[in-house]
Structure 1
Amino acid sequence: MPRSSDTAQTSQDPNPPNIYQKFAATLSRTEWLSRADLDSYRNHLLTRLVTFASAQSPFYRERLKPLFRNGPEPNLDAWSEIPLLRRSELESDIDRINPVQIPQDVGAVSTARTSGTTGAHAEFRTCMLARIAAEGMMYRHYCWHELDLTAPMASVRFYSSSQRRYPAGITEQNWSAVRPGATHHTIDVREPVGDIIAWLAQRAPKYLLTFPSMMHDLAHHPDADVVAQLKLERMIGISEPLIPHIRGVVEKRFGCEIAQIYACAEMGCIALQVPGDDHYLGCEETVFLEILNDDGEPVYPGQTGHVVLTSFYNYATPFIRYEIGDYATLAALPCPSGRELMRLQRINGRSRSALLTLTGQRIWPNEIPLSEIAALLSSPRFQIRQPDKSTIEVIFAAEKEKQPASQQELGALFARLLGGNIVTRLTPVDDMTRTAGGKRELVISIAH
Structure 2
Amino acid sequence: MNLFDLSLKLNGFPIKEARPVLKEIQILNDEKFKNYIENQRTTIVNYHLKHNPFYQSLFKDAQFSTWNAVPIMTKRDLQHPLVNRLSEGFSEKNVYINKTSGSSGDPFVFAKDKFCHALTWAVIQDRFGWFNLNFNSSKQARFYGIPLDKKGYYKERFKDVLSGRFRFSVYDLSDATLENYLKKFKTTRFDYINGYTSAIVQFAKFLEQRNLVLKTICPTLKACVVTSEMLFEDDKQLMEKQFGIPVVNEYGASELDLIAFQNPQDEWVVNSETLFVEIIDADGQVLPYGEEGRVVITSLYNKAHPFIRYDIGDIGILSKESTFQKPLLQKLIGRSNDIVHLPSGKKAAGLTFYYITKSIVEDDGNVKEFMIEQLDFQTFKIIYVSNQELSNQQTKTILKEIENYLEKGLYIIFERQPRLKRSQSGKLKQFSSLLNKI
> Any stretches of 5+ residues in structure 2 without a counterpart?
1-12
1:105-134 Cα shifts (integer Å, max 9, x gaps)? xx9413211112133641122221121111
Aligned to 1:45: 40
- Report the Cα distance in structure 1 between the residues aligned to 2:74 and 2:278, rounded to whole angstroms: 15
Question: Structure 1 pair 360/430, CA: closer, same or farther in 2 (3 Å)?
Answer: same
- Report the Cα distance in structure 2 between the residues aligned to 1:341 and 1:226, rounded to whole angstroms: 35
1:298-329 Cα shifts (integer Å, max 9, x gaps)? 12222211111221222222222221111111
- Please state whether the residue corresponding to 1:263 is helix, strand or coil: strand
Q: How far does residue 409 in structure 1 lie from its aligned partner after superposition? A: 1.7
Task: Tell me, yes or no, if the aligned pair for 1:325 and 1:351 is still in contact at 8 Å.
Answer: yes
Is 2:330 the partner of 1:345?
A: yes
Aligned to 2:139: 152
Aligned to 2:224: 235
Task: Tell me, yes or no, if the aligned pair for 1:378 and 1:404 is still in contact at 8 Å.
Answer: no
Q: How far does residue 236 in structure 1 lie from its aligned partner after superposition? A: 0.9
Is 2:201 the partner of 1:216?
A: yes
Is 2:181 the partner of 1:206?
A: no
- Report the Cα distance in structure 1 between the residues aligned to 2:79 and 2:427, rounded to whole angstroms: 22
Aligned to 2:53: 58
Aligned to 2:406: 418
Q: How far does residue 397 in structure 1 lie from its aligned partner after superposition? A: 0.4
Q: How far does residue 142 in structure 1 lie from its aligned partner after superposition? A: 1.1
- Report the Cα distance in structure 2 between the residues aligned to 1:169 and 1:227, rounded to whole angstroms: 25
Task: Tell me, yes or no, if the aligned pair for 2:367 and 2:387 is still in contact at 8 Å.
Answer: yes
Task: Tell me, yes or no, if the aligned pair for 1:116 and 1:437 is still in contact at 8 Å.
Answer: no
Question: Structure 1 pair 298/55, CA: closer, same or farther in 2 (3 Å)?
Answer: same
CA RMSD of aligned residues (A): 3.3
Identity across matched positions, percent: 21
| Residue 189 (structure 1) aligned to one of 170, 190, 197 | 170
Is 2:121 the partner of 1:135?
A: yes
Residues 13-32 of structure 1: pairs in structure 2 closer than 5 A: 19-28=14-23, 30-31=25-26
Q: How far does residue 373 in structure 1 lie from its aligned partner after superposition? A: 3.6
Is 2:432 the partner of 1:444?
A: yes
Aligned to 1:114: 100
> Any stretches of 5+ residues in structure 1 without a counterpart?
1-17, 69-73, 176-182
Q: How far does residue 207 in structure 1 lie from its aligned partner after superposition? A: 0.6
Residues 43-442 of structure 1: pairs in structure 2 closer than 5 A: 43-66=38-61, 68=63, 74-75=64-65, 77=66, 79-92=67-80, 94-102=82-90, 108-119=94-105, 121-148=107-134, 150-160=137-147, 162=149, 169-170=157-158, 172=160, 174-175=162-163, 183-192=164-173, 194-195=176-177, 198-199=180-181, 200-201=184-185, 202-221=187-206, 225=212, 227=214, 229-231=217-219, 232-277=221-266, 279-334=267-322, 340-355=325-340, 360-363=346-349, 365=351, 368-369=355-356, 370-375=358-363, 378-388=366-376, 390-400=378-388, 403=391, 405-442=393-430
Q: How far does residue 83 in structure 1 lie from its aligned partner after superposition? A: 2.4
For residue 323 of structure 1, what is the amino acid of its counterpart? D
TM-score normalized with structure 2 length: 0.82
- Report the Cα distance in structure 1 between the residues aligned to 2:107 and 2:281, rounded to whole angstroms: 27
Q: How far does residue 192 in structure 1 lie from its aligned partner after superposition? A: 4.5
- Report the Cα distance in structure 2 between the residues aligned to 1:63 and 1:402, rounded to whole angstroms: 51
- Please state whether the residue corresponding to 2:420 is helix, strand or coil: coil
- Please state whether the residue corresponding to 1:375 is helix, strand or coil: coil
Q: How many residues align?
A: 410
| Worse overlay, 264-273 or 18-27 | 18-27
Task: Tell me, yes or no, if the aligned pair for 1:287 and 1:312 is still in contact at 8 Å.
Answer: yes
Q: How far does residue 447 in structure 1 lie from its aligned partner after superposition? A: 6.0
TM-score normalized with structure 1 length: 0.80
| Worse overlay, 236-245 or 208-217 | 236-245
- Report the Cα distance in structure 2 between the residues aligned to 1:254 and 1:355, rounded to whole angstroms: 35
- Report the Cα distance in structure 2 between the residues aligned to 1:34 and 1:389, rounded to whole angstroms: 52
Question: Structure 1 pair 221/353, CA: closer, same or farther in 2 (3 Å)?
Answer: farther
1:236-262 Cα shifts (integer Å, max 9, x gaps)? 112223222321222222222211221
- Report the Cα distance in structure 1 between the residues aligned to 2:68 and 2:382, rounded to whole angstroms: 41
For residue 36 of structure 2, what is the amino acid of its counterpart? Y
Task: Tell me, yes or no, if the aligned pair for 2:213 and 2:244 is still in contact at 8 Å.
Answer: no
Question: Structure 1 pair 361/373, CA: closer, same or farther in 2 (3 Å)?
Answer: farther
Question: Structure 1 pair 198/29, CA: closer, same or farther in 2 (3 Å)?
Answer: farther
